[in-house]
Structure 1
Amino acid sequence: YMDDSFSYELASQKLYYPPCQCSFPEKQTCLLQLWDEIGLLHEKPKQLSGSRLTVIGFDVDPNAMSATLPDHKKTELVAHLRNFAGKGYRWSLQEFQQLAGWCEWSFNMFPLLKPGLSAVYEKIRGKTQPSARLHVNNTVIHELRWMADHVDRSPGLLFYKSL
């Protein structure tokens, strides 16, 4: 099931919602009142609104029509990519898989960087022992550094570049 709902509202269009003792955008308040009427439970901490929101770990700015990783997550990802790409390093298959999963999540914001994992997937293909140590070869090093450089410089997704 889906329990997320997104909409827009002018900042001036707010209604007071007594159960939470605060005001929300008008459409959100109406939705909460409907849920109250039909007995659908909802919690105050999940009722987000504002000019910038964090959605599944991404910073979404509807006014700028953009989305990106929070700065600390972006810095952490870039540092991890660069560390992983160290010459002569050996990482476990599980660590390779964790890196790939983290990068796949980041591709929601950086979809054009997907080719940067091709050498990682080639390296782990057919491997089944989670603790097996794998060398980081030159191709993996090159691709991970390429990804790190691009993530570091990327502003994230700009939904409409003409704005």
Structure 2
Amino acid sequence: MLSYMNDNFGAEEDGNLEFYEPYGYYYPCPQTPMLRLWDELRIPYEFKKQVYRPPGIGTSPVILIISFHVDPNNMTVTMTADRLQSLIEAVKDFWHITDEQWCHTLKKFLTLAGHANWSFNVFPLLKPCLSNLYAKIAGKEKMNVTIYLNQVLLADLRWYLDHLKVASGVHLFGSEEWNIADLDFADSSHELIYINASPNGLGLYFP
């Protein structure tokens, strides 16, 4: 067996925990058997990677993932304050030009584009800000070649910067727990369906 997985995440009901002896910690029930399986197969892993933040630790059960604050209970993903400030400063630095210097190297264009693309994980609606930037660098390959900025590109970055200062991140769909007892079988709009997947498609069963 040769396999590698960088990160894997899941969810479990609050309080449904199981004790993991090697670490002396309680983890969500699906997580503990996985750790024991890795132990049996002698697959290496790190303690610091076994992230679990139950309610009551800190202000909320926020998990830090690639510098994003992930709150599974509020179903939000936001950027950490320091990384957001770093991004804002990077945009300002790129945007700051003088009468003598209206250009940047291709390398600097790509650096800003990479930084902005990373932010789109939590600010997906800000993607249009790079349209004119990509148009400016299209077909260019030499990292040290200088590329002139224009007012259209600067306006895009100004729009991006203004929204960065007030954007609140990604707010996922709300979740609601329900079961068969909540169904009203007298209501024609209510239906119980069992679904399973196979290599050939989905199977639906209406009992």
Deviation at 1:93, TM superposition (A): 0.8
Q: 1:11 aligns with which of 2, 6, 14?
A: 14
Greater helix share, structure number? 1
TM-score scaled by structure 1? 0.90
Structure possessing the higher radius of gyration over alpha carbons: 2
The verdict on how the C-alpha distance between 1:128 and 1:67 changes in structure 2, with shifts beyond 3 A counting, is: same
1:135 aligned partner: 148
Aligned identity (percent) is 36
- Say whether the 8 Å CA contact 1:78–1:151 is kept in structure 2: yes
The verdict on how the C-alpha distance between 1:14 and 1:35 changes in structure 2, with shifts beyond 3 A counting, is: same
- Say whether the 8 Å CA contact 1:86–1:141 is kept in structure 2: no
Instruction: In structure 1, give the amino acid aligned to 2:121.
Output: N
2:147 match: secondary structure: strand
Describe how 1:1-163 pairs up with structure 2 within 5 A: 1-50=4-53, 51-88=61-98, 89-160=102-173
The verdict on how the C-alpha distance between 1:74 and 1:22 changes in structure 2, with shifts beyond 3 A counting, is: same
Instruction: In structure 1, give the amino acid aligned to 2:28.
Output: P
TM-score scaled by structure 2? 0.72
Query: Which 5+ residue runs of structure 1 have no aligned equivalent?
Result: none
2:125 match: secondary structure: helix
The verdict on how the C-alpha distance between 1:102 and 1:26 changes in structure 2, with shifts beyond 3 A counting, is: same
Number of residues paired by the alignment? 163
Relative contact order, CA 8 A, sep 6+: which one is greater?
A: 1
Instruction: In structure 2, give the amino acid aligned to 1:73.
Output: R
Instruction: In structure 2, give the amino acid aligned to 1:63.
Output: N
Q: Give the Cα–Cα distance (whole angstroms) in 2 for the partners of residues 91 and 53 of structure 1.
A: 37
Query: Which 5+ residue runs of structure 2 have no aligned equivalent?
Result: 54-60, 177-207
Q: Deviations over 1:77-126 (max 9, x none)?
A: 12211221224442211010010011111111111111100111111112
